[in-house]
A = this chain, B = another copy of it.
Amino acid sequence: MVKIPVLKSITEANALLADAIRARFVQQDVLVLNIIASPGAGKTTLLERTIEKLDGELHLSVIAGDPTTSLDAERISAAGVPVVQINTDGGCHLEARMIQAALGQLEVADADVVIIENVGNLLCPTGWDLGEDAKVVVASLPEGDDKPLKYPMAFATAQAVVINKIDLEPYVPAQVSVLRENALRINPDLAVFEMSALTGQGLDGWVDWIRGKLAEKRES
């Protein structure tokens, strides 16, 4: 008897496709990161700095999600790596089927790392597996140090958090140390990076973490 797959929901279909994407990248030894953050938390600037830092050492490719426009992809492209823009037409998250479509357009043959920049949103993207090895949350300090408590799902499902815009600490009513504590309260296993992607401060630890995750994947 033929076993007929029954898809119980859109998210289940998404999970199956995400697993297929993940299996493909395991074969190719490519590390895949899914970056999640509020609008304007600094995802694209983080990508620009990461690309600069790893230039000549690792090959990066980027999939950039946005409700409209290709502003982010233009910045990434100017930084010198292959990039595909996904416009969600107002949709609040990326889905595995969009990643699959993007992979048809993206040079990943010699990529070491594929970074997915999700739509600017701390809620919707958290429930959608894109086939990544790790989710990373970017938490911008001027948004306040209470965000992990108010948007716990993003922090609970991530492996790392980048606390960004720490150069603004003297000027905002939020503290890096409190944001760190609140993030670790939600998820004690988080790798935490305190950073100003704008100035480059704190970038080294983050880039080392990427190197470590890639090495880990290649050894397994």
Q: What is the bound-complex CA distance between A142 and B119, given in angstroms? A: 18
Q: Residue A167 at the B interface, CB < 8 A?
A: yes
Binds B, one of A9-17, A26-34, A67-75, A98-106: A67-75
Q: Residue A152 at the B interface, CB < 8 A?
A: yes
Q: In the complex, which of the residues A41, A142, A167 has the most CB atoms of chain B within 10 Å of its own CB atom?
A: A142
Contact of A39 among B92, B143, B173 (CB under 8 A): B143
Q: Residue A209 at the B interface, CB < 8 A?
A: no
Q: Residue A202 at the B interface, CB < 8 A?
A: no
A121–chain B nearest beta-carbon distance, Å: 6
Residues 113-150 of A at the B interface (beta carbon under 8 Å): 119-124, 126-127, 140, 142-144, 146-147, 149-150
Contact of A66 among B68, B121, B144, B150 (CB under 8 A): B150
Q: Residue A215 at the B interface, CB < 8 A?
A: no
Q: What is the bound-complex CA distance between A152 and B171, given in angstroms? A: 29
Q: Residue A40 at the B interface, CB < 8 A?
A: yes
Q: Residue A198 at the B interface, CB < 8 A?
A: yes
Interface residues on A, range: 35 or more
The answer to whether A92 touches B38, judged by C-beta atoms less than 8 angstroms apart, is: no
A69/B150 contact (C-beta < 8 A), A92-B121, A140-B40, A173-B198 known:
yes
Q: Which residue of B lies closest to A145 (CB)?
A: B40
Known A-B contacts: A120-B122, A120-B150, A140-B142. Give 5 more (CB < 8 A): A38-B143, A39-B150, A67-B150, A121-B121, A123-B124
Q: What is the bound-complex CA distance between A67 and B186, given in angstroms? A: 15
Residues of chain B within 8 A of A127, CB atoms compared: 90
Q: Residue A22 at the B interface, CB < 8 A?
A: no
